[in-house]
Structure 1
Amino acid sequence: MRSYLLPLYIGLAGLFVLEPATAQKTAIYQEKPRTWLASVSLGTTRYTGDMNEPGNLAHLRLGASLALSGAYRLSNRVVLRAEAQLYYIYGSHKYTRIDYNNLSFHSLNPDVWVGAQVDFWPTDHRTRPRSPYVLAGVGLTYMSPRANYQGKSYDLASLHTEGVDYNRFPLIIRYGVGYPICARDRWKLHVEGTYTHVRSDYLDDLSTVYPDFSQMSPLAAALSDRRSEIGLPPNRPGAKRGNADKNDGYFILSLRAVYVIRTPWDRGYRRQRRGPRQ
């Protein structure tokens, strides 16, 4: 767990180390309308679904994420943004109120989304050089839940463990907040927290009821109901397996390094801000 949070500690340290020495340079490199931006993000994830309990802080089950994005500043307060991401999540019934069902999963998934970022204050505000922002957008993810069984990893979706063939490319809705913690020349470091709502309840391959095991392969049946591995009798077909009333999702807390791309218009603006050479 601590290893995933290390980038955040480094970023917070940068707030105190970099910013005082670069305040004047930061003013030169303020983002103006028509500025292009590129960024890379490293974060920690937490899945929300039927194999996790919101209040169980002792077992957060943190994963990791890596994202690349491009953005275009449309105005002093609005940025258009597109992003591609790879994220790892996992969950388990262990340490939950229904640990007797003994199910678990892990998943390494890609997602893409497009949306907008809105600053609380304009970039040229005289007394607020850094502005928090909100963001929101829509996109797609590919779900690839897997589980370990007898020393091997198996793709759960292709086994139809609930007897259904669900869509593996669901729509996602992402929203969150961010804050630029420091800046140096054309580089900026943001801390960002988002939640991604997945328009599917099968991110963890778990949603409704136990199927008729007689209609499944022995491997699919073994991965659909794993109670026998802990000495309990199997569930009956139709017994509750998951909660279909609420879709799944995932939180991401990340550090985002933003690079201001220099364009001909951009270079002219920055020369104007520096003034004539002495």
Structure 2
Amino acid sequence: MLKFVTAILLTFISFNLQAQTWEVGLGGGGAAYMGDLNQTNPLKFSGGAGSIFVKRNFNPYLSARLTYTYGSISAADSTSSDPLTRQRNLSFTDHLNEISLIGEFNFMNYIAGVSHNRYTPFVYLGVATVNYNPTAIYQGTKYDLRPLQTEGESKPYPNSAISIPYGVGIKYNITGSWNLIADIGYRQPNTDYLDDVSGTYPNPAKLNSAIARALSDPSGEKTGSYIGTPGTQRGDMRSHDTYMFAQFTISYTFVTEKCYFEQ
């Protein structure tokens, strides 16, 4: 998937390299998640994130960018301060691959190397598709959770979702056409399975394997005392998980002489 997205971005850039208001960038930072295994802390970073984008600046205030972002999120009940949550003993790691189309609005007149303003705060909103695949480690072995149907689903849930990115940031003109960008943005995907947890404990007799039963209710892994009574709450009963990326980005704006005359 990464090779495919890179090819699209490079092709996109090659056709527009001479345009006076195009911009390319590369970023890195952290990823966070809120859901059934982290219900209260929206800034609990659990993994890294990286992105590459190409952007069309329509004018000093409005732009649209096509972005590929990779992020890693994870959580474990064993680290919770709540004894009941620790007893549940669920955990997951997920690698997110997101392709987004995002609109940006600058609060100040800003084109790198052209505008008098060296910086501007901005907001953004867009639409994205995200691929995800939660995994967990049990007795030293990593398992893909989706095919195990740990909540007794009639079929595995989808491994992709539509997501709504929104956030804020600030841009700073370092020198010439070079920009330093810092931003933080949340995503609202139409899934509650980023962490493989959503509703209630299933009847273990209806699960498709011994490992599915073990990972559906690992509460007794160490104590032998299991809490997963069928029909009782397993997740937080919210309809969606959320995830977040916070990054620093270096970008370059292609500015021609014509652009200077137009400003």
User: What residue is the counterpart of 1:110 in the other structure?
Assistant: 97
User: What residue is the counterpart of 1:21 in the other structure?
Assistant: none
- Take 2:166 and 2:193, find their aligned partners in 1: how far apart are those partners? 20
Greater strand percent: which structure? 2
* Cα distance, 1:56 vs structure 2: 9.1
Pair 1:257-2:241 in alignment:
no
- Take 1:127 and 1:261, find their aligned partners in 2: how far apart are those partners? 17
* Cα distance, 1:55 vs structure 2: 4.4
* Cα distance, 1:181 vs structure 2: 3.4
- Take 1:267 and 1:151, find their aligned partners in 2: how far apart are those partners? 60
- Take 1:256 and 1:146, find their aligned partners in 2: how far apart are those partners? 29
Cα contact 1:101–1:226 (8 A) shared by 2: yes
Map of 1:1-278 to 2, 5 A cutoff? 35-55=21-41, 60-94=44-78, 95-97=80-82, 98-123=85-110, 128-164=117-153, 165-216=156-207, 217-231=209-223, 232-261=225-254, 266-270=256-260
Report the more deviating stretch, 174-183 or 82-91: 174-183
SS in 1 for 2:221: helix
- Take 1:190 and 1:259, find their aligned partners in 2: how far apart are those partners? 11
> What is the Cα-based RMSD across aligned positions, in Å?
2.2
Cα contact 1:209–1:242 (8 A) shared by 2: yes
- Take 1:67 and 1:126, find their aligned partners in 2: how far apart are those partners? 26
Cα 1:83–1:190 shift into 2, 3 Å: same
SS in 1 for 2:174: strand
- Take 1:75 and 1:182, find their aligned partners in 2: how far apart are those partners? 16
Cα contact 1:63–1:88 (8 A) shared by 2: yes
- Take 1:70 and 1:77, find their aligned partners in 2: how far apart are those partners? 17
Q: Which amino acid aligns with 1:226?
A: P
Report the more deviating stretch, 135-144 or 88-97: 88-97
Cα contact 2:21–2:57 (8 A) shared by 1: yes
Q: How many residues were matched structurally?
A: 235
Cα contact 2:24–2:253 (8 A) shared by 1: yes
Q: TM-score, normalised to structure 1's length? A: 0.79
- Take 2:196 and 2:63, find their aligned partners in 1: how far apart are those partners? 35
Identical aligned pairs, as a percentage? 27
Larger Rg: 1
Cα contact 2:22–2:55 (8 A) shared by 1: yes
* Cα distance, 1:182 vs structure 2: 4.2
User: What residue is the counterpart of 1:276 in the other structure?
Assistant: none
* Cα distance, 1:115 vs structure 2: 1.7
SS in 2 for 1:242: coil
SS in 2 for 1:230: coil
Cα contact 1:34–1:74 (8 A) shared by 2: no
Any gaps of 5 or more consecutive residues in structure 1? 1-32, 274-278
Cα 1:246–1:213 shift into 2, 3 Å: same
Deviations 1:145-167 (A, max 9, x none): 00001111110001111112212
